[in-house]
Amino acid sequence: MKTLKLIFIIFLIFSLNYLKANETDLQNKITKNLRCLICQGQSVYDSDSDFAISLKLVVKKKINDGLSEKEIYDFLTEKYGEWILYDPKFNKNTYILWFLPLLIFLGGAIVFKKLINIKK
Amino acid sequence: MKNKIIITIVIFFFTFVFLIFYQGLNNSNIYKPSNSENKIIPKFSAYTFFENKLVKSENIFNQKKFYLLNIWASWCLPCRDEHPFIMSLKENEKLEIIGLNYKDKQKNAKSFINNYGNPYSKILLDKDGTKAIEWGAYGVPETFLIFENQIIKKYIGPLNSESISEIKSFIK
């Protein structure tokens, strides 16, 4: 019985550890996708500025409050605008950004096909 | 004929790309946050500076008058520059000035207030900077003009004579 208890305790500790690790993973994932607005070319995750440190705390707090990743992004875009996200959302301001590579690829394919046809 | 089509497509494509990049050259690569948005103020609770009591934001910004929330810290030099300007607004009856003390040591903040004067009717504490984030602030100093729970104007950086006259024209 004693060993069973011990195993149970060890299991509990490990599972808590796992939960905590998941939480930090999510926090890191979110802060890596946030631009540090007062630094040049750094994410919130990489930066040690006052702004980034506070923002990391806010993200942590929001995760603890049970907010989802999307809800946290929405909260921060509402405060700081779309610019804070590295991965921009798909909307009327960003559709060119999303479709341009596809258009260029298609254009290239058409040109390539024509060239092959000419050679033939 | 086919060659012509290809040449036209290629020229069209490069002109398109050129125009996009040319347009991009004119855009500033320095991010300027918008500062005139009618956003509703965040709800939060914070400890007061002198009494060390927990207060809710709903109980602070609850009257029908203008509020000026100023984020400051004793270690921030631009805050010293703007302090006389905030002091000049102190006597205005239509305006209540609230301070948010950002990541500061209480002792230093107290001596700042003693040396330069206290324009604030209330000072709230933001020891870890999370309240400033709730406000959408970037750092110190930053000032928000509030009316009926809405941010009317946001000033990033120290206030100057221009911004003070603008604030005065708002609350006239």
A108 with A49, same domain: the answer is no
Global confidence as pTM: 0.74
Q: Which of the four pLDDT bands, split at 50, 70 and 90, describes residue B132? A: very high
A76 with A97, same domain: the answer is no
Whole-number mean pLDDT of chain B?
Answer: 90
Residues of B in contact with A83 (CB under 8 A): 31
Is the pLDDT reported for residue A101 higher than 80? yes
A73 with A48, same domain: the answer is yes
B130 touches chain A (CB under 8 A): yes
Q: Which of the four pLDDT bands, split at 50, 70 and 90, describes residue A8? A: confident
Is the pLDDT reported for residue B11 higher than 80? yes
What phi-psi label fits residue B103: left (phi over 0), alpha (psi between -120 and 50 degrees) or beta? left
Question: CA A105, CA B132: separation in Å to the nearest integer?
Answer: 44
Token output for A61: 């707090």
A78 with A94, same domain: the answer is no
Residues of B in contact with A79 (CB under 8 A): 133-136
Minimum Cα–Cα distance from B10: chain A residue: A111
A80 with A107, same domain: the answer is no
What is the widest separation between alpha-carbon atoms in chain A? 83
Question: CA A74, CA A76: separation in Å to the nearest integer?
Answer: 5
Q: Which of the four pLDDT bands, split at 50, 70 and 90, describes residue B93? A: confident
pLDDT at B118: 95
The CATH number of the domain where A69 resides is what? 1.10.8.640
Question: With an 8 Å Cβ cutoff, are B5 and A114 in contact?
Answer: yes
Higher pLDDT, A94 or B134: B134
Number of cross-chain residue pairs from A and B with Cβ atoms under 8 Å apart: 51
Which residues sit opposite B54 in a β-bridge?
B47
Token output for A21: 């690790």
The stretch A83-87 carries a mean pLDDT of 86
**Which of A2-6, A12-16, A61-65, A115-119 is the least confident region?**
A12-16
A61 with A97, same domain: the answer is no
Find the CB nearest A54 among B9, B34, B130.
B130
Q: Which strand (E) or helix (H) includes residue A30? A: helix A2-32
A15 with A47, same domain: the answer is yes
A84 with A95, same domain: the answer is no
A40 touches chain B (CB under 8 A): no
Give the C-alpha distances (Å, rounded to integers) separating B58 from A3, B40, B62, B135: 55, 12, 6, 14
A31 with A65, same domain: the answer is yes
B169 touches chain A (CB under 8 A): no
Question: With an 8 Å Cβ cutoff, are B2 and A118 in contact?
Answer: yes
Count of CB atoms situated within 10 Å of the CB of B45: 13
Q: Which domain holds residue A83?
A: 2-89
Domains of chain B: 39-170 (3.40.30.10)
Confirm whether the ipTM is greater than 0.85.
no
Percentage of chain B surpassing pLDDT 90?
A: 69
The stretch B46-60 carries a mean pLDDT of 92
- Tell me what percent of chain B is helix, strand and coil, each rounded to the nearest 5: 40, 25, 35
User: In chain A, how many domains are there?
Assistant: 2
A12 with A24, same domain: the answer is yes
Is the pLDDT reported for residue B30 higher than 90? no
A34 with A73, same domain: the answer is yes
In three-state secondary structure terms, A85 is strand
A24 with A37, same domain: the answer is yes
A54 close to B133: Cβ distance less than 8 angstroms: yes
